[in-house]
């Protein structure tokens, strides 16, 4: 029997921009996603944009009823900054009403809402001032965070500041999957610095108000790094990639500052961000109560071939490696490596003082999932059940060995909109039938997970 603690949090995760729809309704202002879709709809899969997601703004009660049906006890989504404070300053009463009703509905049905503040959805008005590159974004975010705590702090006892800061840094400033799609390592590092400072300032805002009596943390995508070989050069690449992709985030939020070795690497390539005296104390004084870990697949690296310095990208220190033995999700192309969840779990225990943490995302995206629908309209997603079994088995092992993990949230609950991929890959326990008024229908995994929740494990 694979066993989990009785008080374990079982749930699912999503975000405001990927589910709410109503992109400009009731006073909401545009985010970068809304504007980008308006400008270049052809870049979005099937030309489906952020206004056309799973319609949760109008259908949240249906989702909450399904959470209850599954006996889930927790759920993570986010608040849209652009809905709560459309111009960054003025509170939108319609947004307060919507979120209070939504969160109350969850609480009334035995589901604890875990609420995140930023899930890639930069307000357009702030993007026009430079987005995360501009120092002023830090204080705007802290004001937004403070406002959210004031408006919803009586209902929400577990907060997160950011989801996967690495992603908006990397995809927006080292690639073209997020706005503003520029490629500039130095700018990316400044964006990263301001993001992490904004995180620490939001934690500070939470802690300075004595009415705030819950927990605050951050959600990080942590891909354990594995080297091609035991050769020193490959091991060095692994060490450097780990500093960049894992420790630059976890050390900063859990130990109080960026690793010295990373700072030195950046200094040598003239990549250090602009900082202000006093910043460091903000980081040091505001370490998190917990970390949410999103785990999908590992990162495999080898020594770079002809490293160019000063570094123009992380590739100067580590190069990707295509492990020939890797198991690929046939429905999407990502590696499936359940052991990775154990590696990360033990890392949280051994390197971060057994910090409380939970799996805040893990899941399997499947293209063309309608082909698995049976005659009763249920998607027979055996592949997802197998994925869950394998990952949960490794998670249970880590918990048994003392890792302080308090929950597991699958990505996602009902299928949601995935940025440029729109509805290409489906991840949910429930299917969204977009051509039938966003009707929700069952997948077999929801029944399987309900049993796991009720038995605190599986055989
Ligand atoms: C994570 C994000 C989610 C979600 C998920 C699935 O990185 O936090 O927002 O999108 O990945 O990835 P994708 O949407 O690319 O299939």
Q: Tell me if the bond preceding 173 is cis, omega within 30° of 0.
A: no
The structure tokens listed for 5 are 């603690």
- pLDDT tier, 144 (very low <50, low <70, confident <90, very high otherwise): very high
Which CA distances in Å does 328 have to 47, 295, 338, 361, 442? 27, 15, 12, 19, 26
Res 187: pLDDT: 98
How remote is the CA of residue 278 from the centroid of ligand 1, in Å?
35
Which of 418, 426, 428 to mutate for ligand 1's pocket (most ligand atoms within 8 Å of CB)? 418
CATH 3.20.20.80, applies to 2-458? yes
Ligand 1 atom nearest to CA at 424: 16
What percent of the chain lies above the pLDDT cut of 90?
A: 100
Query: What mean pLDDT value characterizes the chain?
Result: 98
How remote is the CA of residue 180 from the centroid of ligand 1, in Å?
18
- pLDDT tier, 48 (very low <50, low <70, confident <90, very high otherwise): very high
Q: Averaged over 228-244, what is the pLDDT? A: 98
- 396-453 per-position pLDDT tens digit: 999 999 999 999 999 999 999 999 999 999 999 999 999 999 999 999 999 999 999 9
Which of 411, 415, 427 to mutate for ligand 1's pocket (most ligand atoms within 8 Å of CB)? 411
How remote is the CA of residue 419 from the centroid of ligand 1, in Å?
8
Ligand 1 atom nearest to CA at 363: 6
Is residue 361 annotated as a catalytic residue, yes or no? yes
Measured from the CB, is residue 248 less than 6 Å from ligand 1? Answer: no
- pLDDT tier, 10 (very low <50, low <70, confident <90, very high otherwise): very high
Q: Which of 164, 230, 386, 400 is catalytic?
A: 164
What percent of the chain lies above the pLDDT cut of 70?
A: 100
- 51-60 per-position pLDDT tens digit: 999 999 999 9
Question: If we measure between CA atoms, which residue out of 205, 203, 213 comes closest to residue 253?
Answer: 203
- pLDDT tier, 226 (very low <50, low <70, confident <90, very high otherwise): very high
Res 121: pLDDT: 98
- 247-279 per-position pLDDT tens digit: 999 999 999 999 999 999 999 999 999 999 999
Res 44: pLDDT: 98
Measured from the CB, is residue 411 less than 6 Å from ligand 1? Answer: yes
Res 213: pLDDT: 96
- 69-109 per-position pLDDT tens digit: 999 999 999 999 999 999 999 999 999 999 999 999 999 99
Measured from the CB, is residue 412 less than 6 Å from ligand 1? Answer: no
Measured from the CB, is residue 425 less than 6 Å from ligand 1? Answer: yes
Question: If we measure between CA atoms, which residue out of 260, 257, 276 comes closest to residue 268?
Answer: 260
Q: Phi/psi zone of residue 23: left (φ > 0), alpha (ψ -120 to 50 degrees), beta? A: alpha
- 175-197 per-position pLDDT tens digit: 999 999 999 999 999 999 999 99
Res 335: pLDDT: 97
Rounded to whole angstroms, the Cα distance separating 145 from 84 reads: 10
Res 155: pLDDT: 98
Res 304: pLDDT: 98
How remote is the CA of residue 409 from the centroid of ligand 1, in Å?
13
- pLDDT tier, 28 (very low <50, low <70, confident <90, very high otherwise): very high
Rounded to whole angstroms, the Cα distance separating 247 from 112 reads: 30
Measured from the CB, is residue 15 less than 6 Å from ligand 1? Answer: yes
Rounded to whole angstroms, the Cα distance separating 240 from 269 reads: 14
Domain borders along the chain are 2-458
- pLDDT tier, 173 (very low <50, low <70, confident <90, very high otherwise): very high
* Residue listed under structure tokens 């919803």: 152
Ligand 1 atom nearest to CA at 332: 16
Tell me the chain's radius of gyration from C-alpha atoms. 21
- pLDDT tier, 245 (very low <50, low <70, confident <90, very high otherwise): very high
Res 180: pLDDT: 98
Res 145: pLDDT: 98
- Give me the interface pTM, i.e. the ipTM: 0.96
């Amino acid at each position: 029997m694979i066993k989990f603690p009785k008080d374990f949090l079982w749930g699912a995760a999503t975000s405001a921009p990927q589910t709410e729809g109503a992109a400009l309704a009731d006073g909401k202002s545009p985010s970068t996603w809304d504007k980008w879709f308006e400008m270049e709809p052809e870049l979005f899969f099937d030309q489906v944009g952020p206004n056309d997601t799973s319609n949760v703004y109008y259908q949240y009660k249906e989702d909450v009823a399904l959470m209850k049906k599954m006996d889930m006890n927790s759920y993570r989504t986010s608040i849209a900054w652009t809905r709560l404070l459309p111009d960054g300053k003025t509170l939108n009463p319609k947004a307060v009403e919507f979120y209070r009703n939504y969160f109350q509905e969850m609480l009334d049905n035995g589901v604890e809402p875990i609420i995140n503040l930023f899930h890639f959805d930069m307000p357009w008005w702030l993007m026009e001032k430079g987005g995360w590159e501009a120092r002023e974004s830090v204080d705007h975010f802290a004001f937004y965070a403070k406002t959210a705590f004031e408006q919803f702090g009586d209902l929400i006892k577990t907060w997160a500041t950011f989801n996967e800061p690495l992603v908006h840094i990397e995809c927006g400033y080292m690639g073209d999957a997020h706005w503003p799609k520029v490629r500039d390592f130095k700018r990316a590092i400044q964006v990263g610095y301001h993001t992490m400072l904004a995180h620490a300032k939001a934690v500070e805002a939470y802690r300075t108000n004595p009415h705030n009596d819950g927990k605050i943390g951050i959600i990080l995508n942590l891909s354990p790094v594995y080297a091609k070989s035991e050769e020193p050069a490959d091991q060095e690449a692994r060490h450097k990639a780990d500093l960049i992709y894992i420790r630059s985030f976890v050390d900063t939020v859990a130990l109080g500052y960026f690793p010295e070795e990373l700072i030195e690497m950046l200094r040598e390539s003239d990549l250090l961000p602009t900082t202000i005296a006093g910043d460091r104390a903000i980081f040091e004084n505001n370490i998190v109560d917990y970390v949410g870990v999103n785990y999908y697949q590992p990162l495999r690296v080898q020594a770079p071939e002809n490293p160019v310095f000063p570094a123009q990208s992380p590739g100067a220190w580590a190069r990707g490696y295509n492990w020939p033995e890797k198991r690929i999700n046939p429905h999407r192309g990502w590696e499936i490596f359940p052991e990775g969840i154990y590696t990360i779990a033990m890392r949280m225990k051994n390197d971060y003082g057994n910090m409380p943490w939970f799996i805040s995302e893990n899941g399997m995206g499947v293209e063309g999932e309608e082909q698995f629908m049976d005659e009763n309209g249920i998607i027979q997603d055996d592949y997802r059940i197998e994925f869950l079994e394998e990952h949960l088995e490794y998670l249970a092992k880590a918990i048994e060995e003392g890792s302080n993990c308090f929950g597991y949230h699958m990505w996602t609950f009902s299928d949601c909109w995935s940025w440029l991929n729109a509805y290409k890959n489906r991840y949910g326990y429930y299917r969204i039938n977009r051509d039938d008024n966003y009707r929700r229908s069952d997948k077999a995994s929801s029944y399987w997970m309900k049993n796991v929740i009720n038995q605190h494990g599986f055989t």
